Structures are given as structure tokens and as C-alpha cells.
Amino acid sequence: MTSTGAAAVAARDRILEAACDVLAAEGVDDVRIARIATHAGVSPALVHYHFETREALLTEALGHSFEQLGDLRTTAAEDEQWTAAQRLGWMIDQSLPFPGEGERDVRLWLELWGHAARRPELRAFAAQLYERYDAWIEEVVQEGMASGEFAAGDARDVTRRLVAMLDGVGPRVLVAGDRLPLEAARRLVVRGLATELGVSEEAFYLRGK
């Protein structure tokens, strides 16, 4: 890749990272391209060049967020000798609104849900993102069942129930955290998963936690 090409890719990544931050804070309907441009350190014209519509900006930002998570799980989970339960525990952490990118990403998902409910053209993208998310979790559930670490069962059903629970408690933590604090939400998810997979709740915590 030429230096010009590398610079263009770097600028686009900065725009996407800035878009994730601003969209999560302000929402798609209230977002201002100038605000994203300032946050990314580029011109508004460059942001418009890459993204023709706000919906395109949202889908690209969500895709970027998901790819970042993919890179993180490759460098973190695969470099550690974690059990399947510890890997699922780590995935739960990445799916709940922990301070920082966790909270940001849950807010982005909420934006997608709201817009996809009103705009059919976004539903295919939402479905595709969920397919990738489900496959990520289901792979680990299957590995745990195959090794005997987890009780035998239907890995796909386990995955769907886990994702549904995360979808339910994550937004509730954001909007009514005093009624369901973050750590309580995590324990709620882990407790149900532990019962279903036949392991202790402690199995889902990383060493030293």
C-alpha cells in the first residue's frame, strides 16, 4: 500500500472511531457531521466523501466496532489459555455496558434497533450482524460441550438465550442502572448460563477476578 493509500485508510479509521463516539453520545438523528469531523481531526467534506447518509454512517460505525472486538478477542482470548467458560465470561463483559467502549457499543446497538424497526433497509444489516455475533458465541459453547466442560445440549439454543438475556439487561443497565446495577446484571446472566451449562458461576470469571 502506498503512503497515500495508508493515509486514506488511517483517516477513514479515525472518522469511524469518532463516529462511534459521537453517535453513541448524540444518536443518529441529532448527529452533526461537523462534530464528527472535529473529533476525528479531518474536514467535514472528507466525512461526507466516505458516508453519503446518516444510516450509512451508523452501519459503518457498528461494523467498525464489531471488527475491533474481533481483533481484541484474537489478541486476548487466543493468547491466553482460558477455559471455554472463561471465554464466555469475557464475551459477556464485552457485551454489557461497562464504562468505556462497552457502554458506547451498547448505545450504538440501541441506535441500530430503533432505526431498523422503522427502516426495513437496515434490517438485513442488523440480521447479518446478529448472525456474526451468534456464531462467535456458539463456537465457544460448542467447544465446551465437545470437551465435556459443559453439559451436552443444543449450542444454538444456549446461544440464542444468552444473547437474548444480554440484549435485555444491557439496555436496562443504561436506562435504569440504580434498579439493575452493572455487576448485578452480570451476575444475573452468569447465574442463568451456569445452571444451563452445568458449571459453577465462578467458572466464568478470569483468573485473579
What is the C-alpha separation between 111 and 21, in angstroms, rounded? 13
Q: Which residue has the cell 444480554?
A: 166
For the full predicted model, state whether its pTM sits above 0.85. Answer: no
Q: Look at residue 86 and give its three-state secondary structure.
A: helix
Min mean pLDDT across 2-11, 38-47, 117-126, 183-192 is at 2-11
The mean pLDDT value of the chain amounts to: 85
Quick check: 28 pLDDT over 90?
Answer: no
- Residue 73 pLDDT grade (very low, low, confident, very high; cuts 50, 70, 90): low
Q: Which domains are present in the chain?
A: 83-204 (1.10.357.10)
Quick check: 77 pLDDT over 80?
Answer: no
The CA angle 143-204-113, to the nearest 5 degrees, is 80
Q: What is the DSSP string of 179-198?
A: TS-HHHHHHHHHHHHHHHHT
pLDDT tens for residues 147-160? Answer: 999 999 999 999 99
Quick check: 208 pLDDT over 50?
Answer: no
Q: State the pLDDT at residue 126.
A: 87
Say which DSSP state 201 is in.
G
What's the whole-number mean pLDDT along residues 175-203?
Answer: 93
